[in-house]
């Protein structure tokens, strides 16, 4: 593997990562532990991703939390009924419903967008029924994502500030302003360290500190100084360090802050009856 990531003693938590079938998950988890992480949320989004997330959780349930759901995809790739059945079947093992959401960045037809909205809305409603948070993807769809969350999220979880996370948040600030009252938090990925991310770095200090999370979205978005490499959970330490610099606090403080936020939101079965 590439050079080791810096250790953050307080234990940053990777709030959104993906394991793949070809991964040596045990080695990736071992590296994350050695880097000082306190845990990871292994996130689904497709049949394969859901399977690998549950498998990783089963192998190390004290360190790996799991999320199961279906994100936007090709129209008809999964039916609403199939998605809900899958999430229900996994409900006793998961800390979150995800990755779910909307992506309008590829010139989708209105029929495809309508199918995305139906799938997303149904899963948000199920998460509210199960009293589980959501891990939400949004790209080019801020208005529809905010509207569906406002209509479907659990009011109780929203009041408690643990309705879920907008994963890989990049702005704009106006979007964040709509999500804060809904109890949503903000997953900051390696993008926070990128040279061209000044706009995001200007937004972050204005976000509530109890809504800040760090994530890798591995195997994507490796942070500086690992750009161009395959990302992995241990590298979240770099994002936590950059967040610390932005907030004017120590790396340990940033790691502890994000860990506490993640545990409040994602601790397995937290708040469930």
* pLDDT tens, residue by residue, 27-65: 999 999 999 999 999 999 999 999 999 999 999 999 999
The SS3 of residue 17 is strand
- pLDDT at position 74 is 55
Question: Is 271's pLDDT higher than 50?
Answer: no
Instruction: Give the alpha-carbon dihedral of 201, 71, 225, 15, to 10 degrees.
Output: 70
- pLDDT at position 2 is 46
- How many whole angstroms separate alpha carbon 248 and alpha carbon 266? 26
- Weakest mean pLDDT among 7-11, 90-94, 141-145, 229-233: 7-11
Neighbour tally for 31: CB within 10 Å? 18
Residue written as token pair 């080695």: 27
pLDDT tens digit sequence for 180-213: 999 999 999 999 999 999 999 999 999 999 999 9
Pick the CATH number of 13-266 from 3.20.20.140, 3.40.1280.10, 3.40.718.10, 3.40.50.300: 3.20.20.140
Assigned token pair, 18: 């993906």
Per-residue pLDDT averaged across 233-244, rounded?
Answer: 95
- pLDDT at position 109 is 87
The per-residue pLDDT of the chain, averaged, comes to 92
- How many whole angstroms separate alpha carbon 168 and alpha carbon 99? 11
Residue 268 — very low, low, confident or very high, per pLDDT cuts 50/70/90? low
Question: Is 179's pLDDT higher than 80?
Answer: yes
Considering the entire predicted model, what is its pTM?
0.93
Residue 77 — very low, low, confident or very high, per pLDDT cuts 50/70/90? confident
Assigned token pair, 84: 């809900």
Would you kindly state where each structural domain of the chain is located, as residue ranges? 13-266
Residue 10 — very low, low, confident or very high, per pLDDT cuts 50/70/90? low
Gyration radius (Cα) of the chain, Å:
17
- Weakest mean pLDDT among 44-48, 71-75, 116-120: 71-75
Question: Is 1's pLDDT higher than 50?
Answer: no
Assigned token pair, 245: 């610099």
Vertex 202 angle, CA 41 and 180, to 5° = 55
- pLDDT > 90: what percent of the chain? 88
Per-residue pLDDT averaged across 225-241, rounded?
Answer: 95
Question: Is 269's pLDDT higher than 60?
Answer: no
Backbone angles phi, psi at 137, to 5 degrees: -100, 135
Q: What is the largest CA-CA distance in the chain?
A: 49
Question: Is 75's pLDDT higher than 90?
Answer: no
- pLDDT at position 76 is 56
CA 185 to each of CA 119, 179, 193, 231: distance values in angstroms, whole numbers, following the listed order: 22, 8, 19, 22
Question: Is 73's pLDDT higher than 70?
Answer: no
Per-residue pLDDT averaged across 80-85, rounded?
Answer: 96
Reported as type and span, the H/E element at residue 170 is: none
Say how far residue 44 (Cα) sits from the centre of its chain.
Answer: 10
Per-residue pLDDT averaged across 161-177, rounded?
Answer: 97
Per-residue pLDDT averaged across 11-36, rounded?
Answer: 94
């Amino acid at each position: 593997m590439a050079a080791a990531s810096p250790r953050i003693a307080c234990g940053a938590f990777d709030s959104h990562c993906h394991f793949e079938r070809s991964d040596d998950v045990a080695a990736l988890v071992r590296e994350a532990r050695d880097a000082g992480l306190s845990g990871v949320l292994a996130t689904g989004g497709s049949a394969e991703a859901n399977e690998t997330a549950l498998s990783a959780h089963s192998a190390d349930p004290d360190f790996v939390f799991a999320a199961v759901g279906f994100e936007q995809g090709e129209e008809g790739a999964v039916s609403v009924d199939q998605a809900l059945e899958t999430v229900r079947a996994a409900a006793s093992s998961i800390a979150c419903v995800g990755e779910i959401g909307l992506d309008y960045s590829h010139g989708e037809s209105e029929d495809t967008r309508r199918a995305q909205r139906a799938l997303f809305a149904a899963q948000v409603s199920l998460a509210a029924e199960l009293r589980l948070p959501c891990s939400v993807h949004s790209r080019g769809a801020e208005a529809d994502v905010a509207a569906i969350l406002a209509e479907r999220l659990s009011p109780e979880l929203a009041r408690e500030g643990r309705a879920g996370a907008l994963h890989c948040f990049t702005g704009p600030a106006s979007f964040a302003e709509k999500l804060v009252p809904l109890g949503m938090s903000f997953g900051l990925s390696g993008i926070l360290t990128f040279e061209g991310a000044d706009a995001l770095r200007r937004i972050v200090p204005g976000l509530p500190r109890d809504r800040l999370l760090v994530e890798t979205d591995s195997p994507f978005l490796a942070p500086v100084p690992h750009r161009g490499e395959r990302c992995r959970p241990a590298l979240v330490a770099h994002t936590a360090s950059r967040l610390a610099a932005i907030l004017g606090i120590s790396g340990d403080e940033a790691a502890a802050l994000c860990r506490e936020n993640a545990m409040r939101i994602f601790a397995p079965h937290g708040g469930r009856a």
